[in-house]
Amino acid sequence: MASLVSEGAAALLSKGAFHHHHQHQYSRKMKTPSVSQRFRASSTSPSTDTPTSNSSTAILQASADKVRLGASDVEVTKVGIGAWSWGDTFYWNNGSWNDRNIEDARAAFNASVDVGINFFDTAEVYGSQIMGVGGESERLLGRFVKERNRLDSKGIAIATKFAALPWRLGRGSLICALKESLKRLDLSSVDLYQLHWPGLWGNEGYIDGLADAVEQGLVKAVGVSNYNEQRLRSAYAQLKKRGIPLASNQVNYSLIYRLPEKNGVKKACDELGVTLIAYSPIGQGVLSGKYTPKNPPSGPRGRIYNKEYLTKATPLLQALREIAQQHGKTPLQVSLNWLMAQENVVPIPGAKTAAQAKEFAGALGWTLTSSEVDELRRLASKLDPITGFPAESF
C-alpha cells in the first residue's frame, strides 16, 4: 500500500510539529441565536441550485452553485480555494517563496473572486516557518482580502484552522490561537474555524473552545478536520449540547482517495448534516492529467505518485480526458465535478495561479451523467489504495 503525505501531515512537517471560504462585514458580530435556534429545530434547508452549462458565464455559475456549510449560516460556492501552498517552502513551490510567487497567489485570489468563487481555506500552520506556527498563508490571504476590499469583497468567506499541538491545553488555548489568526488575517472574525486534526489529548476542551468562539462572535461557524467517524459523532454531540451545529469535517477525498467512503466518515457527514470539505480533491495534481509515467511530480509528491503508480493510473486518466472532451471540459474539472456528484461535498483545490483558479470555476454549472460517475469510480477502484493522515484511522 502506497504511503501518502496528506495535507495535514505535510503541513505539520513544514511547520515543525508532526509529519502532515462570506456574506460578512468584517467588523460585524455574528448572529449566534439564529444559528442555534435553527440547529435545535433541525431545519436545514438544502440548496436548490439550477446550474447553467454555458462555460462563458463562470460568475453566474459560481454564484448559483452555492451551499450552506452544515446547519450554519455560512454560504459558500460548491468549489472553494485551498491556500495550503501560499507561503510554503517545504511541500510546495520547490523549496522557495519569492515576490513572483506572491504575485501569482494574489492573481489566483483575485481571479477566484472575479469568477464568483467565494470560499478560501487556510490554516495557522500554512507558511514557510519550519518550527511552530508559520501563519504566512493567513497573512497573505488577509492582505489580499484587504486589497480587494477597496474594490469589492462582499461575500468572501474565510476559513482557517487551529493546530492541536501537544503543548496547547484547554479551551483557552484555542481562543488565544484564534485571536492570533485573526491578527494575521487582519479580521475581527472568520466564517469557519476548524480543528486541523484531533489532538493527542484534550479534544473535549478544544470542542468547548469552538463553542466559546461562536458565542464570543469570533466565528460564524465551526468545524473539524481529519476526524474519523467516532470523533466526528462525538464532536457533533458535544457542540449540540451548546446549541451549536458542527458545520463541516475537512478530510482528504478525491477520485483516487476514497477512504471517507470506506471508514464511515462520508455516511456520518450525510446523516448528521455536516458538510464534507474535500482537500487534495485532484490528488495533489495527479487528476489534472499533467503528470505521466515519464513526467511524475517533483519533490515529496514524486515519491508517492511515482512512475509505477502513474502507469497503473493511465486507464483512469485516459477516461478523464475522454469524458472531459465530451463535455468541453478539462480532466481536472471532471475530477472536481465527480466529487460534487457525491453530494454534500465541497472540494477546495489549491490555486497557485490565476489560470488554475479560472479552471476550477469551470467545474461548476454542469453535471456528469450517472454512468460517467460510475465508470470513473470503477477505473479508480483498480488502483492500489493510498493511505492518508493517520488521524483518520484512530
The CA distance from 192 to 157, in Å, is: 8
The CA distance from 377 to 371, in Å, is: 10
* Region 140-165 average pLDDT: 87
* Region 52-80 average pLDDT: 76
* Region 285-300 average pLDDT: 88
Q: Please give the mean pLDDT across all residues of the chain.
A: 83
Confidence tier at 296 by pLDDT (50, 70, 90):
confident
Phi and psi (nearest 5°) for 115?
-90, 5
Which of 26, 91, 126, 206 is catalytic? The answer is 126
The CA distance from 72 to 36, in Å, is: 9
The alpha carbon dihedral of 97, 99, 104, 107 has a sign of: positive
Expressed in angstroms, the distance from the first to the final Cα of the chain is 18
User: What H or E segment, with its residue span, contains residue 144?
Assistant: helix 136-149
* Region 16-25 average pLDDT: 36
The CA distance from 87 to 97, in Å, is: 6
The CA distance from 183 to 154, in Å, is: 20
Q: Considering only CA atoms, which of 390, 391, 389, 392 is closest in space to residue 7?
A: 389
- pLDDT higher at 387 or 174: 174
pLDDT of residue 2: 42
User: What H or E segment, with its residue span, contains residue 289?
Assistant: none
291 carries an active-site annotation: no
User: Picking from 34-43, 66-75, 282-291, which range would have the lowest pLDDT averaged per residue?
Assistant: 34-43
- pLDDT higher at 88 or 263: 263
Q: How many CA atoms lie within 13 A of 252 on its CB side?
A: 25
Tens-place pLDDT, residues 187-236? 999 999 999 999 988 899 999 999 999 999 999 999 999 999 999 999 99
CATH of 2-44+55-291+332-369, one of 3.30.390.10, 1.10.1660.10, 3.40.190.80, 3.20.20.100: 3.20.20.100
Residue 390 has pLDDT above 60, yes or no: no
* pLDDT above 70 as % of the chain: 76
The CA distance from 105 to 99, in Å, is: 10
- SS3 for 323-370 is HHHHHCCCHHHHHHHHHHCCCCEEECCECCCHHHHHHHHCCCCCCCCH
Confidence tier at 157 by pLDDT (50, 70, 90):
very high
Confidence tier at 86 by pLDDT (50, 70, 90):
confident
What are the residues whose beta carbons fall under 8 Å from the beta carbon of 119, sequence distance 6 or more?
21, 76, 77, 79, 80, 81, 157, 159, 346, 348
Tens-place pLDDT, residues 269-290? 999 999 999 999 999 899 999 9
The CA distance from 193 to 85, in Å, is: 19
pLDDT of residue 35: 47
pLDDT of residue 98: 75
Task: List 160's β-bridge partners, or say none.
Answer: 193
pLDDT of residue 153: 57
- pLDDT higher at 15 or 143: 143
pTM for the predicted model, two decimal places: 0.84
- Per-residue buried b or exposed e for 195-227, using 16+ beta carbons within 10 Å of the residue's own CB: bbbbbeebbebbbbbbbbbbeeebbbbbbbbbb
Confidence tier at 367 by pLDDT (50, 70, 90):
very high
Tens-place pLDDT, residues 98-113? 788 889 999 999 999 9
pLDDT of residue 13: 40
Q: Considering only CA atoms, which of 62, 51, 50, 56 is closest in space to residue 113?
A: 62
Confidence tier at 369 by pLDDT (50, 70, 90):
very high
Question: Which three three-digit cell numbers place residue 199?
Answer: 489532538
